[in-house]
């Protein structure tokens, strides 16, 4: 959670993770179209606490790429932000 929050506000975290996801060549076009819609639903939901939105974003990403890639992407993001 701290790593995802460390990417910045929800929209900024989504933008980074979405860019990472789109680099995966095995994602089908339907998913690529639906991903922004899914995230927009979370973003627009005013009843959900921000932490829940970040968790949902993390789970979507984790489910698609797996734990190994998830950790690698987040660790790299932290390195980039700290330079």
Contact 24, 65 (CB under 8 A): yes
What pLDDT, on a 0 to 100 scale, did the predictor assign at position 4? 81
Q: What are the C-alpha distances in Å from 81 to residues 1, 16, 74?
A: 16, 11, 11
> How confident is the model over 6-61, as pLDDT tens digits?
888 888 888 888 877 777 777 778 877 787 888 788 878 888 888 888 888 888 88
What pLDDT, on a 0 to 100 scale, did the predictor assign at position 76? 80
| Assigned token pair, 64 | 């698609």
């Amino acid at each position: 959670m701290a790593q995802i929050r460390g990417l910045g506000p929800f929209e900024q975290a989504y933008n980074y993770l979405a860019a990472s996801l789109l680099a995966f060549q095995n994602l089908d076009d339907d998913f690529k179209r639906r991903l922004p819609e899914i995230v927009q639903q979370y973003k627009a939901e005013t009843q959900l606490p921000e932490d829940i939105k970040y968790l949902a974003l993390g789970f979507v990403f984790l489910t698609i790429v797996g734990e190994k890639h998830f950790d690698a992407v987040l660790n790299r993001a932290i390195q980039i932000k700290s330079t």
